[in-house]
A and B are shown apart, each in its own frame.
Chain A
Amino acid sequence: QSVLTQPPSVSGAPGQRVTISCTGSSSNIGAGYDVHWYQQLPGTAPKVLIFRNTNRPSGVPDRFSGSKSGTSASLAITGLQAGDEADYYCQSYDSSLSGCVFGTGTKVTVL
């Protein structure tokens, strides 16, 4: 069982804005460790979408943004597109487990 909890699914119409939460605790996000986000398109390997809480790698559209507050982090997708249908995972470090931890994953569906 992951220590970072995400909603199993979120959905939205094309053009809409959706957000994905990543809820942790005082031993991971709340302790100040960075949060990173990954997108996994069907049948492919994950790809980094947001690193160090708010940073986008080159090539990632600015429709994707990350934020972090307290023991949680969020990924926002604006102007939702059909190509955004994928699984999304947050990742951080947990001091109690002494290792990297991934979120439970969220499936984004474009209606």
Chain B
Amino acid sequence: QVQLVESGGGVVQSGTSLRLSCAASGFTFRNYGMHWVRQAPGKGLEWVAVIWYDGSDKKYADSVKGRFTISRDNSKNTLNLQMDSLRAEDTTVYYCVTYNGHWPNGFGESWGQGTLVTVSS
């Protein structure tokens, strides 16, 4: 079955960087676009970024544009999120999600369990 395991979360200082990773298994990773979606404690879901199945295109939410970079390594079935210039409002759980369908009408089919990032000021 599909497994998405996020890692790399933790507590960091405001202004610093962190890199999240997501190890995918149980499906043909290179055939799927992938999302990052985040959720602040007790709050709603917020879309962060999407990357095409082959990495040829990427889209970002305005709130992270210019600070976050989504990437993937199809040879290692891994999705990444490089987060720079972190702010207190980036404190959330980050979910790795498979993107089923063609942009922009696809949906999040399978979700990881999430990794918590805490940015302290």
A interface, CB within 8 angstroms of B: 2, 33-34, 36, 38, 45-48, 51-52, 57, 89, 91, 93, 97-105
Partner of A99, one of B59, B105, B111: B59
Q: What 3 A-B pairs come out closest when comparing CB atoms? A: A93-B104, A100-B47, A36-B107
Interchain nearest-CB distance for B117 vs A (Å): 16
A99 to B104, CA, bound (A): 8
C-alpha gap A100/B38 in the complex (Å): 12
B45 and A102: CB pair below 8 A? Answer: yes
> Within 8 Å CB of B59, what residues of A?
98-99
The CA-CA distance from A33 to B45 in the complex, in Å, is 19
Q: Is A51 in contact with B107, judged by CB distance below 8 angstroms?
A: yes
Cα–Cα distance between A33 and B102 once the two chains are bound (Å): 12
Question: Which B residues from 41 to 75 make CB contacts under 8 A with A?
Answer: 44-47, 50, 59-62
Interface size range of chain B in the complex: 20 to 34
CB distance from B62 to the nearest CB of A (A): 7
- Interface residues of B, Cβ cutoff 8 Å to A: 35, 37, 44-47, 50, 59-62, 95, 100-101, 104-105, 107-109, 111-114
Using Cβ atoms and an 8 Å threshold, which residues of chain B touch A104? 44
**B60 to A: closest C-beta gap in Å:** 7
Chain B residues contacting A93 (CB-CB under 8 Å) are: 104-105
B113 cross-chain contacts in A, Cβ below 8 A: 45
Does A89 contact B44, Cβ atoms closer than 8 Å? yes
Query: Once bound together, how far apart are the Cα atoms of A105 and B40, in whole Å?
Result: 13
